[in-house]
């Protein structure tokens, strides 16, 4: 028999302590400990023993996937929903978690799959209103139930035996065996663990919708992210129409893929060519604007980087970034000041990645540097020019991966000139007569000469 014991649990990270603490020693959050009852299971006595086998004698089984029919979503999932897998979808309130889950159910139900939608936060009528707004037609294999009791959820799953179960959301589902309130770390961990075990035993795929904390993390992140198979996060501004779905963890696919959607009146619509979207309102003849082809998984995307340099007030300089790492901007500003003698010590620097994208690709370094230089010198970067390359501390421009994909995407959108690392240019000799001029540079000084003196 399982027993329960009282403990103080951090509601941000799940750290457990026998006594109350003002500050969590694990995540450093203040006043986050709440007394909860945790389940203590006795050690198993009669553990069955299995004889080890040779790895090469194990039969390889290909994972069966259910194709959703939305290319952006299928790409992020690695080709579709794997049977028996557990997918966690997180994001800010109102960003589209329930919308995309309902669209996922509609697509699979239309293809003949049996779907069970567990609506814990909304009534059945409210969910029906949202489904009508999304243009859902009558489907004989799409079932919905409004329950929050975990035992009732399990009974419904065993009764209907669907192909896919959506739980909206995991924070409102509770286990009657625990006295702690729904949404606490103990409840979230226990319910997610039981549902995951159910998915593995029955082969039913389960999608869990998770709320986020004020820091932008799913409540109980370490607990949930270790339990489930796939973690998907929605990115983007809540009041912007564009959404980016990114795979943070995926046991059955790549974690580098993203899906781009646009929120419309009929739900989330796929964006087939996000490069055109991010460059649609790019200003002409304005300094501080540069375009760079970044790589998100296997997909090249052209984005605009904007920089604004202005004189600091009262001698206190500021460095503000949106979409790139703040420390990276500080490093690149130091390189510009030291190697190119640009006077930035008394200047405020603001850098923004248009469209709400968050970029970790080092190929953006050259575009950031030249956008800052363009702003401080008030010189315009050519409207048909793209820039890419990693910048080192010696101002050298280093090579980046998958250069052919990046240049090809820029050429498709009509760009005529590309400034790139010299080591990458040697691998693109065939592009000389392909309608795009390649300018190879070794350092930032050469790149600036190529832009404004060449």
Please state the residue numbers annotated as binding site for ATP: 91-98
Measured CA to CA in angstroms, residue 428 lies from 183, 390, 433 at distances of: 54, 18, 11
Contact 206, 227 (CB under 8 A): no
Q: Quick one: CA dihedral 442, 444, 448, 453, positive or negative?
A: negative
Token pair belonging to 274: 């996000």
Nearest CA-CA partner of 418 in 370, 360, 349, 348: 370
**Rounded CA separation 182/176 (Å):** 10
Nearest CA-CA partner of 101 in 345, 120, 393: 120
Contact 440, 388 (CB under 8 A): no
Nearest CA-CA partner of 451 in 355, 338, 369: 369
**Rounded CA separation 134/125 (Å):** 14
| Residues in binding site | 91-98
CA atoms within 13 A on the CB side of 100: 34
Strand partners, 414: none
**Rounded CA separation 381/288 (Å):** 8
**Rounded CA separation 377/358 (Å):** 27
Contact 361, 405 (CB under 8 A): no
Token pair belonging to 52: 């080890």
What letters, b where the CB count within 10 A reaches 16 and e where it falls short, cover 220-242?
Answer: bbbbbbebbbbbbbbbbeeeeeb
Q: Quick one: CA dihedral 247, 248, 250, 253, positive or negative?
A: positive
Q: Three-class SS of residue 159?
A: helix
Contact 267, 103 (CB under 8 A): yes
Name the DSSP letter for residue 79. Answer: S
How far, in whole angstroms, is CA 91 from its chain's centroid? 9
Name the DSSP letter for residue 204. Answer: -
């Amino acid at each position: 028999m399982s027993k329960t014991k009282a403990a103080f649990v951090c509601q941000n990270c799940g750290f457990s302590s026998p006594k109350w603490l003002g500050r969590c020693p694990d995540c450093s959050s203040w006043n986050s400990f709440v007394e909860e009852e945790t389940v203590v299971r006795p050690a198993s006595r009669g553990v069955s023993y299995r004889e080890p086998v040779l790895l090469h004698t194990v039969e390889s089984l290909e994972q069966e996937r259910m194709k959703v029919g939305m290319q952006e979503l299928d790409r992020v999932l690695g080709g579709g929903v794997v049977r028996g897998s557990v997918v966690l979808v997180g994001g800010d309130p109102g960003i589209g978690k329930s919308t995309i889950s309902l669209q996922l159910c509609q697509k699979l139900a239309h293809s003949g799959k049996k779907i069970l939608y567990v609506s814990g936060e909304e009534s059945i009528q409210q969910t029906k209103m949202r489904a009508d707004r999304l243009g859902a037609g009558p489907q004989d294999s799409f079932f919905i139930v409004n329950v929050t009791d975990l035992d009732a959820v399990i009974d419904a799953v065993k009764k209907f035996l669907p192909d896919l179960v959506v739980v909206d959301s995991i924070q409102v589902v509770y286990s009657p065996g625990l006295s702690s309130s729904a949404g606490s770390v103990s409840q979230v961990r226990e319910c997610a663990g039981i549902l995951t075990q159910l998915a593995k035993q029955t082969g039913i795929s389960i999608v869990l919708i998770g709320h986020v904390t004020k820091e932008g993390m799913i409540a109980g992140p370490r607990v949930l992210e270790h339990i489930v198979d796939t973690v998907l996060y929605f990115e983007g501004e809540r009041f912007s129409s564009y959404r980016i779905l990114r795979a943070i963890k995926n046991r059955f696919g790549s974690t580098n893929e993203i899906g781009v959607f646009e929120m419309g009146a009929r739900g989330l619509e796929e964006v087939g060519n996000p490069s055109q979207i991010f460059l649609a309102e790019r200003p002409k003849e304005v300094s501080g604007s540069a375009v760079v082809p970044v790589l998100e998984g296997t997909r090249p995307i052209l984005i605009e980087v904007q920089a604004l340099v202005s004189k600091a007030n009262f001698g206190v300089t500021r460095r503000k970034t949106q979409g790139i790492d703040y420390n990276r901007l500080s490093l690149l500003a130091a390189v510009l000041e030291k190697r190119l003698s640009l006077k930035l010590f008394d200047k405020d620097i603001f850098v923004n990645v248009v469209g709400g994208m968050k970029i970790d690709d080092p190929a953006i370094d050259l575009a950031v540097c030249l956008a800052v230089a363009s702003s401080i010198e008030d010189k315009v970067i050519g409207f048909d020019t793209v820039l890419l390359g990693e910048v080192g501390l010696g101002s050298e421009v280093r090579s980046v991966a998958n250069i052919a994909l990046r240049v090809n995407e820029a050429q498709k959108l009509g760009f005529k000139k590309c400034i790139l690392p010299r080591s990458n240019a040697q691998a693109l000799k065939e592009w000389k007569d392909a309608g795009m001029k390649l300018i190879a540079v070794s350092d930032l000084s050469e790149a600036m000469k190529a832009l404004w003196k060449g």
